[in-house]
Amino acid sequence: MDIPIKEEKNFRFIETGEGSSGETLMLLHGLFGALSNFEGIIKRFSGKYNVVVPILPIYEMPIFEVSVMGLVDFVTRFVNFKGFDRVHLLGNSLGGHIALLYVLAHPEHIASVTLTGSSGLFESAFGTAFPKRGDYDYIKKKTADTFYNPEVATKELVDEVFGIVNDRNKAIRVVATAKSAVRHNLGDKLHKIKTPTLLIWGKQDAVTPPFVGEKFNELIEHSRLHFLDQCGHAPMMEKPEEFNTILENFLNEVIAENVEA
């Protein structure tokens, strides 16, 4: 991607600028997420939306502040800094968990929420135990296991994950954040969410299996669930065209309903 990363007031983020709809679509990445994870969404939606991706300070936060709620506080400060009124919020994996906690705390700032492979109810990943440092083949396999098609786990992506787990300071923060996510189970809070909610899940997601998407659908009142076949934990990467079409139809519907209201 050739969109420059902006640095303002201790925030690092990308922002495509105002689109034809005048609406903001904000994307929250996961624990090992990168801007490249959202490349397909950014390309598809930047003409119509102001697409914003704040880079979550997972690896930079002071160790005593490392937690899911610490990241929610970061998102809160970022939204306030940008002066956004209401955003369409999308989160993958840990990013979905952060999105849910933000929605619960600040529903007035949310036009819609989209979750894909979100944590918050159940997740199975190597983030909650100290990863095997120095074992490239292990990291390669675990990264590939995230996807239905292992070829999606490019060498660039594997190298990035390998670099994180072999940096002791980053690895400690990965484990602390993952454990914090497990402690912040949202099963008893999701009924409070009244925002239009889209759930897009991979049928072969091994990290947050299909039953997790079904449970989110059951507990969030105004939600709809779509499964993508031959797809793992990151549908926006593995099935970008199908994912983006579902997302686009959902956003169009939400915006139309808001105009009518």
Kindly state the average pLDDT of the residues 225-241. 97
Q: What is the pLDDT of residue 253?
A: 96
CB–CB of 251/112 below 8 Å? yes
pTM over 0.75: yes
Q: What is the pLDDT of residue 38?
A: 95
Three-state secondary structure call for residue 13: strand
Q: What is the pLDDT of residue 128?
A: 47
Name the CATH architecture for the domain at 6-123+185-260: 3-Layer(aba) Sandwich (3.40)
pLDDT in tens, 56-82: 998 888 888 888 999 999 999 999 999
Mean pLDDT of the chain: 91
d(CA 61, CA 169): 10
Q: Which of the pair, 143 or 111, is modelled with greater confidence?
A: 111
Q: What is the DSSP string of 108-147?
A: GGEEEEEEES--SS----GGGS---TT-HHHHHHHHHTTS
**Percent of the chain residues topping a pLDDT of 90:** 64
The pLDDT confidence band at residue 175, using thresholds 50, 70 and 90, is: confident
Kindly state the average pLDDT of the residues 47-58. 95
pLDDT in tens, 88-128: 999 999 999 999 999 999 999 999 999 999 999 987 654 44
Kindly state the average pLDDT of the residues 170-198. 91
d(CA 15, CA 149): 30
Kindly state the average pLDDT of the residues 124-135. 58
Kindly state the average pLDDT of the residues 201-214. 96
d(CA 173, CA 131): 12
Q: What is the pLDDT of residue 18?
A: 85
**pLDDT(132) > 80:** no
Query: Which conformational region is residue 110 in: left (phi greater than 0), alpha (psi within -120 to 50 degrees), or beta?
Result: beta
List the end-to-end C-alpha distance of the chain, in Å, as a whole number: 37
Q: What is the pLDDT of residue 131?
A: 54
Three-state secondary structure call for residue 202: strand
Q: Which of the pair, 143 or 49, is modelled with greater confidence?
A: 49
d(CA 193, CA 223): 9
* Domain limits, the chain: 6-123+185-260
